[in-house]
């Protein structure tokens, strides 16, 4: 059996489109399963100083075997970030600019809370830049059984940041 994994991609440094393309290619190499990709969205730098370059964001879903543990997927995503030039600075408080950011947002039917990973992502309901592309792919997805759908979370999201859709899904 397979279950859908939803991965958020984003970045605001360098050639943002090329970095997202490279990340998607690396994800495909690591997990050779069909990808369904949202459109790309440009958003202001959320939680950062005015004048910080805008982010480019996207969500991809891949149906992976149940035998593949979420922590294994996370480890692969972190390795891809590093390969593409991401330097995670654990001494930095708050948000920072980055070349690429890969977040495991949701694994369908999985709920977990460890030091390394919480599923579903604990703050995505607060972030329009995550909810918009996620709603494009899975508007009726419930993050918790019987809980609100992604569309409902998007409608009630307090984040009113401008989220500009740039292109249709690939």
* Fold observed for domain 2-165: Alpha-Beta Plaits (3.30.70)
Average pLDDT on 137-159 reads 93
**Per-residue model confidence as pLDDT tens digits over 11-53:** 999 999 999 999 999 999 999 999 999 999 999 887 778 888 9
- Reported pTM: 0.92
What would the mean pLDDT of 127-146 be, rounded to a whole number? 93
Q: At what angle do helices 70-83 and 16-30 cross, to 10 degrees?
A: 140
- Domain locations in the chain as residue ranges: 2-165
Reported confidence tier of residue 144, pLDDT bands at 50, 70, 90: confident
- Report the phi/psi class of residue 8: left, alpha or beta, with left for phi > 0 and alpha for psi in -120 to 50: beta
């Amino acid at each position: 059996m397979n279950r859908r994994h939803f991965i958020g991609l984003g970045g605001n440094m360098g050639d943002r489109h090329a970095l997202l393309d490279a990340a998607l290619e690396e994800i495909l190499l690591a997990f050779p399963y069909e990808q369904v990709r949202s459109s790309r969205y440009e958003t202001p730098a959320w939680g950062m100083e005015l004048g910080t370059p805008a982010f480019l964001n996207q969500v991809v879903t891949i149906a992976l075997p149940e035998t593949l543990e979420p922590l294994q997927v996370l480890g692969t995503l972190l390795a891809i970030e590093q390969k593409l030039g991401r330097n995670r600075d654990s001494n930095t408080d708050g948000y920072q600019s980055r070349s690429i950011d890969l977040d495991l947002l949701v694994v369908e039917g999985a709920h977990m809370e460890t030091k390394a990973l919480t599923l579903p992502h604990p703050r995505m309901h607060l972030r329009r830049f995550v909810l918009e592309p996620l709603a494009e792919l899975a508007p009726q997805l419930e993050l918790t059984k019987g809980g609100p759908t992604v569309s409902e979370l998007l409608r009630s999201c307090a984040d009113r940041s401008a989220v500009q859709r740039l292109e249709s899904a690939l």
